[in-house]
Amino acid sequence: MSTPIKVAFLTSLTTAALVYVILEWRPLRTEGSRAPGVSWAEPGALPAEPGVPVGTPTPALPAALSADEQNNIEVYSKYSAGVVNITSSTLGLNSRFQVVPVEAGTGSGLILDTKGNIATNFHVIEASMRGGGLEVTLADKNKYPAKIVGYDPSNDLSVIRIDAPKEKLFPIPLGKSAGLLVGQKVLAIGNPFGWERTLTTGVISATGRSIEAENGRIIENVIQTDAAINPGNSGGPLLNSSGEVIGINAQIVSPSSGSVGIGFAIPVDTVARITGDLITYGYVRRPWVGIGVVFPMEGYPQGLARRYGIASNQGFMVQSINPRSPAAIAGIRGASGQAGNGFRVYPVGGDILLAFQGKPIVSVPELAAQIDHFKAGDKVMFTIQRGDQKIDVPVVLQETPPEAR
């Protein structure tokens, strides 16, 4: 082959190779460079990461690792297989205006037992209740459809169940949340932005916090942590250094929908009580007082109060009582009528709730949260104002009837 022909051949080959590189080559992307979603509601569109094989023993740890690092590795190796990825779907319209399942979002959950019961937040599964469904991905990447066992919006908790072989289910032990101390180490495992079984660590920043559920009820004794919690971590466990669940991660405070070091976990003592009822009964056996609507006395017109002998501008006037309820049996009275003042109408003649168990009643959601700490059959004490008298009224709680749940 002559030199000009060789040169022409090599030039053509080089040109073809450059064209292939330009048109077909894609840069290798590390998992850390993948762009995450940006909100709680974003569906987990990212491809699944390679998971830790279920049952993998704790790897041999280099001697140079600190005790804290070794603890992180041991807890993750032992219990990460008990964390699942939950994908919820709802019904939507496709481009042809046909009703089809549409992915609504992803969250986390923790395996409670070898029967397939999984605890998560209510807000993780809520979208699926609008005609959609739930799918659970285990650590070995196997996927299973899930059904809802029960839910409790007031504590943002739910239990779902999958039909999976026992040998694929790795429950995480529940610890205790009572007695936790600020400064204790915590570990969070979940699926932030779809990144399955991600570990973050931190400390307990505060205890005894209160947060508001979507339905306005107050969740008490919440754990605050600085462990990174992001969209997708909801429903995943917060663990202590022994690998025991001390809470379920539920909310963050953030102007950007990402972690700024203020996260909240529902305490495991509440989780155990609520999930136990959900698994056994399908609902939460809440105590019931039977007081209906109440009216806040702060700002009640003074002239109207004098006219009807109302001696308090604190507490909440009872407007209605459910017949045959514990409150009715105890003799608590609802309003007997209404009176106008200016352009507003105010209740008159009802007992005014001042205190519960000796503590002033500040708000109705807080009162409801306090009552939830008791059970049917317990006797509790309300302090009421009736005319110019303060009276302590004992009330024996009942279980909330179906029509009042």
Is the per-residue pLDDT at 33 higher than 80? no
* DSSP secondary structure code for residue 14 in this structure: H
* Catalytically annotated residue among 89, 234, 259, 325: 234
Q: Is 302 exposed, middle or buried, given 0-12, 13-18 or 19+ CB atoms closer than 10 A?
A: exposed
More confident residue, 333 or 13: 333
List the domains of the chain with CATH numbers: 67-168 (2.40.10.10), 185-281 (2.40.10.10), 287-404 (2.30.42.10)
DSSP secondary structure letters along 292-311: --EEE-TT--HHHHHHTT--
| Residue 152 C-alpha from the chain's centroid | 10
pTM: 0.77
Distance of alpha carbon 309 from alpha carbon 332, whole angstroms: 18
| Predicted local confidence at residue 285, as pLDDT | 94
Distance of alpha carbon 31 from alpha carbon 54, whole angstroms: 21
| Predicted local confidence at residue 98, as pLDDT | 65
Quick check: 174 and 240 in contact, CB under 8 A? no
Is the per-residue pLDDT at 111 higher than 80? yes
* Catalytically annotated residue among 80, 123, 152, 372: 123
| Predicted local confidence at residue 56, as pLDDT | 55
Is the per-residue pLDDT at 267 higher than 60? yes
Is the per-residue pLDDT at 43 higher than 60? no
Task: Provide the pLDDT confidence category of residue 386 given band limits of 50, 70 and 90.
Answer: very high
| Predicted local confidence at residue 276, as pLDDT | 96
Reported as a single tens digit per residue, the pLDDT across 215-259 is: 989 999 999 999 999 999 999 999 999 999 999 999 998 777 778
| Predicted local confidence at residue 328, as pLDDT | 97
Closest CA to 103 of 69, 74, 72, 132: 132
| For the chain, percent of residues with pLDDT exceeding 90 | 73
Does residue 123 have an active-site annotation? yes
Does residue 373 have an active-site annotation? no
| Predicted local confidence at residue 246, as pLDDT | 98
Read off the pLDDT of each residue in 262-287 and give the average, rounded to a whole number: 96
Is the per-residue pLDDT at 31 higher than 50? no
Q: Kindly report the CA angle at 358 between 354 and 361, in degrees rounded to 5?
A: 35
Task: Provide the pLDDT confidence category of residue 14 given band limits of 50, 70 and 90.
Answer: very low
| Predicted local confidence at residue 362, as pLDDT | 93
| Predicted local confidence at residue 90, as pLDDT | 84
* Catalytically annotated residue among 152, 156, 351, 372: 156
* Whole-number average pLDDT of the chain: 86
